[in-house]
Protein backbone atom coordinates (compact mmCIF):
# COMPACT_ATOMS: atom_id res chain seq x y z
CA UNK A 1 0.00 0.00 0.00
CA UNK A 2 1.27 3.47 -0.85
CA UNK A 3 2.59 5.33 2.17
CA UNK A 4 0.95 8.67 3.02
CA UNK A 5 3.47 11.38 2.09
CA UNK A 6 4.82 13.17 5.15
CA UNK A 7 4.93 16.98 5.14
CA UNK A 8 8.33 18.61 5.44
CA UNK A 9 9.19 19.94 8.93
CA UNK A 10 8.26 23.31 10.35
CA UNK A 11 11.45 25.32 10.84
CA UNK A 12 11.46 27.21 14.15
CA UNK A 13 14.26 29.76 14.07
CA UNK A 14 15.35 31.75 17.10
CA UNK A 15 17.58 34.79 17.00
CA UNK A 16 20.11 36.42 19.30
CA UNK A 17 20.04 36.05 23.08
CA UNK A 18 17.15 33.61 23.04
CA UNK A 19 19.62 30.94 24.18
CA UNK A 20 19.49 32.77 27.54
CA UNK A 21 15.74 32.31 28.01
CA UNK A 22 14.88 31.43 31.59
CA UNK A 23 17.89 33.41 32.86
CA UNK A 24 17.56 36.68 30.96
CA UNK A 25 14.98 39.20 32.25
CA UNK A 26 12.53 36.49 33.38
CA UNK A 27 10.00 39.17 34.36
CA UNK A 28 9.73 39.97 30.62
CA UNK A 29 10.53 36.69 28.89
CA UNK A 30 9.42 34.13 31.50
CA UNK A 31 11.24 31.23 33.15
CA UNK A 32 10.85 28.64 30.43
CA UNK A 33 14.17 27.80 28.77
CA UNK A 34 14.62 27.59 25.01
CA UNK A 35 15.30 23.87 25.36
CA UNK A 36 11.93 23.46 27.10
CA UNK A 37 10.21 25.50 24.38
CA UNK A 38 11.87 23.23 21.79
CA UNK A 39 10.35 20.16 23.45
CA UNK A 40 6.91 21.80 23.85
CA UNK A 41 6.94 22.82 20.18
CA UNK A 42 7.95 19.36 18.98
CA UNK A 43 5.18 17.74 21.08
CA UNK A 44 2.58 20.18 19.79
CA UNK A 45 3.66 19.68 16.17
CA UNK A 46 3.40 15.92 16.67
CA UNK A 47 -0.28 16.28 17.59
CA UNK A 48 -0.73 17.74 14.09
CA UNK A 49 1.33 14.96 12.49
CA UNK A 50 4.18 17.39 11.83
CA UNK A 51 7.83 17.51 12.80
CA UNK A 52 10.04 20.44 13.72
CA UNK A 53 13.56 21.66 13.06
CA UNK A 54 14.33 23.90 16.05
CA UNK A 55 17.40 26.16 15.99
CA UNK A 56 18.92 29.23 17.62
CA UNK A 57 21.75 31.49 16.57
CA UNK A 58 23.21 34.76 17.76
CA UNK A 59 24.48 35.42 14.22
CA UNK A 60 22.49 37.20 11.53
CA UNK A 61 24.18 35.41 8.61
CA UNK A 62 23.51 32.02 10.17
CA UNK A 63 19.81 32.88 10.42
CA UNK A 64 19.84 33.96 6.75
CA UNK A 65 21.47 30.63 5.79
CA UNK A 66 18.79 28.70 7.69
CA UNK A 67 15.98 30.73 6.09
CA UNK A 68 17.47 29.91 2.66
CA UNK A 69 17.63 26.23 3.65
CA UNK A 70 13.99 26.40 4.79
CA UNK A 71 12.94 27.75 1.34
CA UNK A 72 13.11 24.26 -0.07
CA UNK A 73 13.05 22.02 3.00
CA UNK A 74 10.25 23.34 5.22
CA UNK A 75 6.46 23.44 5.27
CA UNK A 76 6.45 26.73 7.20
CA UNK A 77 8.83 28.99 9.14
CA UNK A 78 8.21 30.25 12.68
CA UNK A 79 10.70 32.93 13.54
CA UNK A 80 11.53 34.87 16.66
CA UNK A 81 14.22 37.11 15.29
CA UNK A 82 14.97 38.68 18.70
CA UNK A 83 16.54 42.11 18.26
CA UNK A 84 17.27 41.41 14.56
CA UNK A 85 13.50 41.62 14.01
CA UNK A 86 13.83 45.36 14.42
CA UNK A 87 17.00 45.87 12.39
CA UNK A 88 17.79 43.19 9.85
CA UNK A 89 17.25 43.94 6.17
CA UNK A 90 19.11 40.70 5.40
CA UNK A 91 16.54 38.62 7.30
CA UNK A 92 13.71 40.62 5.72
CA UNK A 93 15.10 39.92 2.22
CA UNK A 94 15.71 36.23 2.96
CA UNK A 95 12.10 35.83 4.15
CA UNK A 96 10.80 37.66 1.06
CA UNK A 97 12.39 34.96 -1.05
CA UNK A 98 10.45 32.21 0.71
CA UNK A 99 7.15 30.79 -0.58
CA UNK A 100 6.16 28.83 2.54
CA UNK A 101 4.13 30.64 5.23
CA UNK A 102 6.18 32.69 7.72
CA UNK A 103 4.86 33.30 11.23
CA UNK A 104 6.59 35.85 13.44
CA UNK A 105 6.64 35.13 17.18
CA UNK A 106 7.72 37.22 20.15
CA UNK A 107 7.48 36.21 23.79
CA UNK A 108 6.88 39.80 24.89
CA UNK A 109 4.68 42.34 23.16
CA UNK A 110 7.21 44.69 21.52
CA UNK A 111 4.47 47.28 20.88
CA UNK A 112 4.01 47.67 24.64
CA UNK A 113 7.73 48.24 25.20
CA UNK A 114 10.41 50.78 24.17
CA UNK A 115 9.80 52.65 20.93
CA UNK A 116 12.83 51.06 19.23
CA UNK A 117 11.01 47.73 19.41
CA UNK A 118 7.84 49.02 17.74
CA UNK A 119 8.99 48.42 14.17
CA UNK A 120 9.55 44.92 12.86
CA UNK A 121 11.27 44.14 9.56
CA UNK A 122 9.82 40.63 9.73
CA UNK A 123 6.13 41.58 10.09
CA UNK A 124 5.76 42.90 6.51
CA UNK A 125 6.87 39.52 5.12
CA UNK A 126 4.97 37.38 7.65
CA UNK A 127 1.62 35.73 7.12
CA UNK A 128 0.82 36.51 10.76
CA UNK A 129 2.33 37.65 14.02
CA UNK A 130 1.89 36.25 17.55
CA UNK A 131 3.21 38.40 20.39
CA UNK A 132 2.92 38.78 24.14
CA UNK A 133 1.91 35.26 25.19
CA UNK A 134 5.33 34.07 26.36
CA UNK A 135 6.32 30.49 25.53
CA UNK A 136 2.65 29.73 24.84
CA UNK A 137 2.94 31.92 21.73
CA UNK A 138 5.18 29.32 20.09
CA UNK A 139 2.42 26.73 20.52
CA UNK A 140 -0.19 29.09 19.08
CA UNK A 141 2.16 29.62 16.15
CA UNK A 142 2.54 25.85 15.62
CA UNK A 143 -1.27 25.52 15.55
CA UNK A 144 -1.50 28.37 13.04
CA UNK A 145 1.25 26.87 10.89
CA UNK A 146 -0.40 23.45 10.99
CA UNK A 147 -3.72 24.80 9.78
CA UNK A 148 -1.96 26.68 6.97
CA UNK A 149 0.07 23.62 5.97
CA UNK A 150 -3.04 21.41 5.97
CA UNK A 151 -4.95 23.97 3.88
CA UNK A 152 -2.10 24.13 1.36
CA UNK A 153 -1.70 20.34 1.32
CA UNK A 154 -5.47 19.75 0.95
Active site residues: 29, 106
At 57, phi and psi to the nearest 5?
-145, 150
Backbone φ and ψ of 16, nearest 5°: -60, 140
Shortest CB 107 distance to ligand DQA, Å: 4
**Positions in 84-113 near ligand DQA (CB under 6 A):** 85, 106-108, 110
Which lies closer to ligand DQA via its Cβ, residue 92 or residue 106?
A: 106
Q: Is 56 in the site for ligand DQA (CB under 6 A)?
A: no
Helix (H) or strand (E) holding 54: strand 52-56
Query: Is 17 one of the binding residues for ligand DQA (CB under 6 A)?
Result: yes
Q: What is the separation of C-alpha 98 from the centre of its chain, rounded to a whole number of angstroms? A: 14
Nearest to 50 by CA among 80, 74, 14: 74
For ligand DQA, how many residues bind (rule: CB under 6 A)? 10
Return the residues of window 67-86 that contact ligand DQA according to CB under 6 A: 80, 82-83, 85
Amino acid sequence: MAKKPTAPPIYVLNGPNLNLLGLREPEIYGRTTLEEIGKMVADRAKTHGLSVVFRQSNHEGQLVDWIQEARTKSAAILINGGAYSHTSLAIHDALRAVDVPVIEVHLSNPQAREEFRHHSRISPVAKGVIVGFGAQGYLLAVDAAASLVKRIGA
